[in-house]
């Protein structure tokens, strides 16, 4: 394969990586990692070279979600800060995992499958005790400034965003991000929905903002380890920018049911193909 063809194909991979990142807040490496393996990257390069592209896709998609008021910045702060050190630890541990990198790929496939299962299920009904409607007598007239505040507050009723809960999510996602180069979103999204009880679109946008923070220490560490091949990383970085914008737009305009079905089908299919290919490589 010529260098020109490799660059063009990597740009295409980057675009679809950005679409997935913007739609599901998962960093997109679940597409780019196996794709650049096919294009010639080694297992360790496939993990490390995808990390730089997480940052531009995260920034692009986050800006789009922020315009719609779908980013919970308090959650971003606690989760992102808690995950920074564990991201470095995960990157350092990546070479200690046996199997010449193939085990990392298999673990990624299993985690992607887990995400598809969790997000594809019907959402749990909220506990009535967690919800408390505002007193109608105290509510400001519709259309007033206070009315928009009440609406925003009512959407957050039932959320469980204690600092320690967010810190646990951040540390876990950071470790995963550094270890597998997948951005940590495949763990944050289901935990934000099921454990922190964020609304689905808010969970997706908030996760996307978090993965950008976690990508920075992971990128530096993988570069020092020599795992980043910039012949793959740079085209990915360019391709993800328009892709993330498209993906975020599709999510914002979709219903929750459509999003859950989409993530179950897309990520489930990726996980299956991913798992079969890496087991075959490991056994062969």
Which of the residue ranges 3-12, 58-67, 171-180 would you say has the lowest mean pLDDT? 171-180
How many H-runs (helices) and E-runs (strands) does the chain carry? 12, 0
How many C-alpha atoms does 249 have within 13 Å on its Cβ side?
8
Cα separation values, 225 from 94, 95, 171, 228, Å: 10, 9, 21, 8
Q: What value does the mean pLDDT take over residues 224-250?
A: 95
Cα(274)–Cα(116) distance, integer angstroms:
14
Helix H or strand E segment including 108:
helix 102-120
C-alpha angle 207/208/209, rounded to 5°? Answer: 90
Q: What is the pTM of this model?
A: 0.78
- Residue-wise pLDDT for 119-139, tens only, equals 676 555 444 444 444 444 444
Going by C-beta distance under 8 Å and a sequence separation of 6 or more, which residues neighbour residue 114?
186, 190
Q: Is the predicted pLDDT of residue 155 greater than 50, yes or no?
A: no
Most confident range (mean pLDDT) of 35-39, 244-248, 257-261 is: 244-248
**DSSP-derived secondary structure letter, 42:** -
Cα(211)–Cα(234) distance, integer angstroms:
18
- Residue-wise pLDDT for 5-52, tens only, equals 999 999 999 999 999 889 888 777 778 888 898 899 988 888 889 989
Structure-token pair, residue 161: 């965003």
Structure-token pair, residue 280: 């075959």
């Amino acid at each position: 394969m010529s260098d020109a063809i490799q660059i063009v194909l990597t740009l295409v991979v980057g675009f679809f990586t950005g679409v997935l990142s913007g739609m599901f807040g998962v960093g997109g490496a679940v597409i780019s990692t196996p794709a650049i393996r096919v294009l010639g990257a080694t297992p360790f390069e496939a993990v490390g070279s995808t990390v730089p592209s997480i940052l531009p896709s995260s920034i692009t998609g986050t800006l789009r979600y922020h315009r719609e008021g779908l980013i919970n910045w308090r959650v971003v702060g606690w989760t992102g800060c808690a995950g920074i050190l564990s991201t470095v630890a995960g990157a350092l541990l990546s070479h200690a995992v046996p199997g010449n990198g193939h085990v990392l790929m298999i673990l990624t496939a299993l985690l992607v499958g887990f995400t598809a299962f969790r997000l594809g299920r019907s959402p749990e009904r909220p506990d009535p005790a967690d919800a408390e409607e505002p007193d109608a007598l105290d509510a400001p007239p519709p259309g007033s400034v206070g009315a928009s505040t009440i609406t925003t507050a009512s959407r957050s009723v039932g959320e469980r965003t204690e600092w320690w809960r967010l810190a646990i999510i951040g540390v876990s996602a950071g470790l995963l991000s550094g270890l597998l180069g997948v951005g940590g979103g495949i763990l944050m999204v289901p935990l934000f929905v099921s454990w922190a009880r964020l609304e689905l679109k808010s969970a997706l946008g908030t996760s996307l903002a978090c993965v950008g923070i976690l990508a920075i220490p992971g990128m530096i560490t993988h570069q020092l380890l020599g795992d980043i091949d910039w012949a793959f990383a740079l085209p990915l970085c360019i391709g993800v920018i328009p892709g993330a914008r498209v993906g975020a737009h599709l999510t914002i305009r979709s219903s929750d049911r459509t999003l859950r079905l989409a993530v179950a089908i897309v990520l489930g299919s990726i996980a299956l193909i991913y798992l079969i290919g890496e087991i075959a490589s490991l056994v062969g």
